[in-house]
Amino acid sequence: SCARSNSNRAAIGHLQRQRYGRRYPLLLVSTDGSTARLRYGEPKRILMMPLDSNTLPEAERKARLRRHFPSKPKAKEEETFEGIDLDTYKKFWKK
């Protein structure tokens, strides 16, 4: 009993050959928390689907935006040497 190799056999069974190149096992995580295992072209462990910000409450949406786009750092004041008495540090100077 010889099994004929045709397109139906490849579709019903598992992948017999790597026709489309190397595929890596991947865990796909949906926005609702459900997961699915599939094969992916790049070697990754987990791929998360993007979250739709239109379905979030307003407070959580603003918090996510603050995390993605942080505020600019404040400019620091420069140190001035006007109030420093240099005679106190005289012992550290080389002679």
Q: What is the pLDDT of residues 47-73, one digit of tens each?
A: 888 888 888 899 999 998 888 888 888
Is the per-residue pLDDT at 36 higher than 90? yes
Domain extent listing, the chain: 20-70
E strand or H helix at 47: strand 46-48
Quote the CA–CA distance of 43 and 23 in Å, as a whole number. Answer: 8
pLDDT for 15 equals 55
The CA-atom distances, in angstroms, between 27 and each of 15, 18, 19, 31, 46 are 18, 20, 22, 13, 5
pLDDT for 85 equals 84
Overall average pLDDT of the 17-37 stretch: 83
Is the per-residue pLDDT at 1 higher than 60? no
DSSP 3-state of 75: coil
pLDDT for 58 equals 92
pLDDT for 12 equals 58
DSSP 3-state of 38: strand
